[in-house]
Amino acid sequence: MPAKMTKKIAPEIDAELWDEFVAVAKQNGQSQRYVLEQALTHYLRNVVPSQHLVRPDVMAAFGRVVDRNRDLLDRLAK
């Protein structure tokens, strides 16, 4: 089987997030490349598809209804 093609990237990200990322990879005995690829795979396969389950205009309307009825919803929650 031929080797997978790769792309070299150099994004700038939050320094604290990077430090946490490096620490997690080290704690788990994994390479940074492996952890990053796993994170990207999870995001693309699980997070992105779930963002399209509810249309943005529906969520905006829901937010307006919740804001408008906040007092009633708080009372019902009790």
**Treating both helix axes as pointing N-terminal to C-terminal, what angle do 32-42 and 15-27 enclose, rounded to 10 degrees?**
110
- Please tell me the predicted confidence (pLDDT) of residue 33: 94
Q: What is the mean pLDDT of each run of 10 residues along the chain (78 residues)?
A: 85 94 96 95 89 81 93 89
Domains in the chain, number: 1
- Please tell me the predicted confidence (pLDDT) of residue 57: 87
Domain span at 44: 15-77
Answer yes or no: is 6 within a domain: no
Answer yes or no: is 24 within a domain: yes
Separation CA 37–CA 65 (nearest Å): 39
Answer yes or no: is 7 within a domain: no
- Please tell me the predicted confidence (pLDDT) of residue 1: 67
pTM score over 0.85? no
- Please tell me the predicted confidence (pLDDT) of residue 53: 76
Answer yes or no: is 8 within a domain: no
- Please tell me the predicted confidence (pLDDT) of residue 66: 92
